């Protein structure tokens, strides 16, 4: 309403200034303020006052915690579904809103007009160009990078989870599943820009990410064909300057029932990848990013078609408190089976391109999820206090032999050995640059998920 008032014309703004506004303001604002102002307050010394206020504050926090704890599951899903309630119940909201309007304005004024460049010294050490297409030793690169949603590492069958939630991937060869990977943040809006930024988890600032160039910008400038297909809320500003395709609606996505499915993002894949032999077009280094709906909660039961409802019974409401814990987990695990199917389809889609390209698939989730441990649900807790369930994410790489990625068991840095090392979202930007043969001082000596040998 404040923004409405400021942005509209004078006539309409005056429409908001009805006489009743001033009567209310007088009766409910000025009169009580005058009465309170006249109350004589017994002055305490600052030591006494500090002590008294600290005790009151502490007791209030304890009281709030005691009241909230038994209903953690209800509150988590309720406030997530009805975010606006947090403002309605809080009498401070109008004051907070005025301050926020002011600080937003200042932040907007301070924001640089131009992007802060990164990777300005980027060079391609491996150059693939049209003149050496006859040289079969040099193939262009093709990577599909799947940005996962809300999947925690310990519910992945490949990682030793008691349930085989990844039956299809288990049957694929050349699969590497990292056992100890941590995310940058605990929410999509925080993690996704961080994953593709030049910052690492410690230096990353979510507020400035939108005006800093990211690794997709560098790849694009270096001639890599970059396409972002999105079946999530958005690319969170990461794909603003590369090709972006929205698969959230049936306009592009052919697989929509109660919602549009991730598998629809593979529709017309061949159009993104020019196959040298079949289409008489020059193959080009290509990076395709697929941003999944994945395991987005709390309505896990909506995240997969019926065929994937392996584990029963399933919690069929987004009010997690109405369900027993096991049925919440069942829905969550069923959704992972759908991601297993999706990733398996990505791999099968990529296989025919192996002769013309050096192909690889990388899957990394943006953050994990709490599923009722200590009565904590969903995600988004501050990193320092978030449980591992929200921070440990799956990293799964499909890397067929002969694609230039070292998968031998000899080198310490090979894929086969790296899967047991601690890795993180910080590895993504250097890995992408390295795979496409691009070097820059900004990522010099930064660790990567694998080494490229040619």
For the bound state, the minimum distance from the C-beta of residue 298 to Zn ion, rounded and expressed in Å, comes to 13
Angle subtended at Cα 343 by Cα 337 and Cα 346, rounded to the nearest 5 degrees: 145
For the bound state, the minimum distance from the C-beta of residue 365 to Zn ion, rounded and expressed in Å, comes to 8
Report yes or no: 249 and 105 within 8 Å, Cβ to Cβ: no
Q: Residue 282's closest CA among 213, 357, 345, 338?
A: 357
SS3 label, residue 344: helix
Report yes or no: 422 and 182 within 8 Å, Cβ to Cβ: yes
For the bound state, the minimum distance from the C-beta of residue 241 to Zn ion, rounded and expressed in Å, comes to 22
For the bound state, the minimum distance from the C-beta of residue 236 to Zn ion, rounded and expressed in Å, comes to 9
Contacts of residue 195, defined as CB under 8 A and 6 or more positions apart, other chains included, come to 147, 184, 238, 364, 366, 425, 428, 429
Report yes or no: 228 and 241 within 8 Å, Cβ to Cβ: no
For the bound state, the minimum distance from the C-beta of residue 367 to Zn ion, rounded and expressed in Å, comes to 5
Sequence length of the chain is: 454
For the bound state, the minimum distance from the C-beta of residue 355 to Zn ion, rounded and expressed in Å, comes to 36
For the bound state, the minimum distance from the C-beta of residue 188 to Zn ion, rounded and expressed in Å, comes to 3
For the bound state, the minimum distance from the C-beta of residue 320 to Zn ion, rounded and expressed in Å, comes to 17
Give strand pairing partners of 228. Answer: 244, 289
Task: Output DSSP code: residue 255.
Answer: -
Nearer to Zn ion, 301 or 450 (CB): 301
Nearer to Zn ion, 192 or 224 (CB): 192
CA distance 335 to 343: 13
List residues binding Zn ion (CB under 5 A): 149, 188, 366
CA distance 166 to 294: 14
Nearer to Zn ion, 122 or 181 (CB): 181
Nearer to Zn ion, 149 or 406 (CB): 149
CA distance 216 to 227: 9
Alpha helices by DSSP H, listed for 247-387, are 269-272, 276-279, 325-350
3-state DSSP percent of the chain in helix, strand and coil, to 5: 45, 15, 45
Nearer to Zn ion, 217 or 366 (CB): 366
CA distance 96 to 216: 36
For the bound state, the minimum distance from the C-beta of residue 230 to Zn ion, rounded and expressed in Å, comes to 13
Nearer to Zn ion, 119 or 368 (CB): 368
Please count the CA atoms within 13 angstroms of the CA of 71 that sit on its side-chain side: 9
Q: Residue 379's closest CA among 370, 387, 392?
A: 370
């Amino acid at each position: 309403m404040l923004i409405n008032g400021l942005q509209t014309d004078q006539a309409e703004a005056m429409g908001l200034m009805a006489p009743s506004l001033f009567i209310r303001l007088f009766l409910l604002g000025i009169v009580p303020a005058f009465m309170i102002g006249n109350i004589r307050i017994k002055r305490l010394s600052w030591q006494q006052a500090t002590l008294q206020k600290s005790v009151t504050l502490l007791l209030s926090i304890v009281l709030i915690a005691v009241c909230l704890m038994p209903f953690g599951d209800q509150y988590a899903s309720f406030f997530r579904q009805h975010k606006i309630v947090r403002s309605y119940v809080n009498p401070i909201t109008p004051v907070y809103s005025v301050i926020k309007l002011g600080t937003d304005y200042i932040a907007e004024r301070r924001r640089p007009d131009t992007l802060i460049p990164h990777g300005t010294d980027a060079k391609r050490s491996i150059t693939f160009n049209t003149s050496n297409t006859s040289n079969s030793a040099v193939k262009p690169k093709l990577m599909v990078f799947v940005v996962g949603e809300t999947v925690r590492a310990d519910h992945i069958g490949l990682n030793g989870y008691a349930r085989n939630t990844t039956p299809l991937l288990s049957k694929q060869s050349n699969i590497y599943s990292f056992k100890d990977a941590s995310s940058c943040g605990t929410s999509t809006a925080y993690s996704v820009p961080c994953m593709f930024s030049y910052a690492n988890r410690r230096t990353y600032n979510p507020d400035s990410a939108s005006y800093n160039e990211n690794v997709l910008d560098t790849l694009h400038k270096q001639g890599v064909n970059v396409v972002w297909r999105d079946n999530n809320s958005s690319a969170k500003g990461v794909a603003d300057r590369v090709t972006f395709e929205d698969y959230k609606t049936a306009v592009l996505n052919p697989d929509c029932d109660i919602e549009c499915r991730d598998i629809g993002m593979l529709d017309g894949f061949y159009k993104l990848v020019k196959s040298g032999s079949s289409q008489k077009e020059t193959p080009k280094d290509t990076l395709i990013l697929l941003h999944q709906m994945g395991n987005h909660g709390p309505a896990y039961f909506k995240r997969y078609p019926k065929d994937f409802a392996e584990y029963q019974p399933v919690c069929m409401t987004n009010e997690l408190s109405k369900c027993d814990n096991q049925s919440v987990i069942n829905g969550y695990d069923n959704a992972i089976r759908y991601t297993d199917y999706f990733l398996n389809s990505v791999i099968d889609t990529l296989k025919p391109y192996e002769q013309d390209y050096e192909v690889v698939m990388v899957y990394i989730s943006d953050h994990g999820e709490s599923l009722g441990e200590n009565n904590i649900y969903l995600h988004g807790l501050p990193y320092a206090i978030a449980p591992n369930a929200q921070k440990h994410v799956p990293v799964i790489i499909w890397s067929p032999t002969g694609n230039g990625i070292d998968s031998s068991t000899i080198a310490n840095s090979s894929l086969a050995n790296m899967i047991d090392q601690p890795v993180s979202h910080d590895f993504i930007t250097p890995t992408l640059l390295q795979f496409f043969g691009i070097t820059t001082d900004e990522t010099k000596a930064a660790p990567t998920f694998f080494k490229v040998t040619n």
